[in-house]
Structure 1
């Protein structure tokens, strides 16, 4: 049961996923000093920056030369503007459903722009490197290879320890007693894991053992009672900065998104109503507790 859901420590993952998704499109492009008009549709200009924006939304076409790609994009933009003209003539811009869609698109653009303004200056290359040096580049880390037997009560755990001390086979006893079905079929083997991969009580007990040692006192966690045996210990070689950079950057972005969203919510007055429009009771409007 390598990295078992029975034993993994709680993952801290709060909200902000929708806000984070808005970052995927990237920050709004900076205005260009030289932005010539490349076409007009009923007098409405299409500029070079419009072509660049369209090209940036098509990464699969980035390999095409501009003299091939841009005429195709310009035709699409002209066709799109022509459709907009017809929609205005038909009064669709006054249609409530269309207005809701337009408002939603504007809201998404503003959310993305604000998140980038608030976050990009915090998640720089230098900041990612500093975080790597602080949290990941730790050659002193260690991992252990261990196995365990999980039982429902302390008395059974003590019985298993007594049988092991008499020369009992750990793998056989695991299959006989363990309530962890995944590990039991592997003789209780959990493979290698780092200390923060497991719940604290289990990790503290396992990392206190030398290879070949077995806990002489049952270890209690929220999952039951464990008998733990360490097979091997080894130092952990941390990943290189190049290997860890992208994942670490995404982690830092998510952390900052959550912080920015929380600050934004604190700065506004929120009123909630039932689906029929009636006021909610005070108990219904309480915010849920933060994720732990």
Structure 2
């Protein structure tokens, strides 16, 4: 059996990128949304409009009512804003598909807020303390968000993409077949048989002990670092259509290798890498903002017992 350098089995076909949209139930979405609201703080229960630096001002004429709850309105913009705050996997689902479930979550939240006001929860000391703490967090995150939006531009993302991909393009991948046997003598006999005109795929089906044997020994395309070193070295040294003239020994046995094709694997596109780069830049800028604030502030620390921390 051939495994990757990381100990994983190699797939028998070319590596393909795919985007799978997650399935969701309305119950799952409700719990996810409610958890996000709780993480955001109690201001939601007061019916405060969520702050979003990314959202443009919405004119009343362009912001229709999505629902009413005992006369209280839920605007379309609240639904789209809530959608933008969902975890990334939910944002892969089109808004049109997730809209009914998201609106139901907002209705339930509005019902709770109306009930909370009637019970004057927002006037309690506990609520006010939590609201003050939430305000502190919101102010801090808004400051960082402003810096991120000012600096994480399309131009900045493109520049970082060029930097990280400059050495990624042109990486060679090999499409190979192999025949795995237990002994060197068996491998030599296979090489002699192939040199006499035997078909490689047919011979692999008959004699290979590896899991790819029934597939004609086909391992598909693989890049460097995916196979054990001895196998990789031999495979990448062969030209297209060539076969090893001597057996190749690995921890799995003795191999006869044939290279069917070689190709250059292009770097991932900006579209593919853009979200990851944007997230990375955002983290870096957030860390820089925090570092600058610490360097210009006078900070005193105290231990749990009240003594000054060193």
TM-score, length-scaled by structure 1: 0.48
TM-score by length of structure 2 reads 0.46
The higher relative CO (CA closer than 8 Å, separation ≥ 6) is in: 1
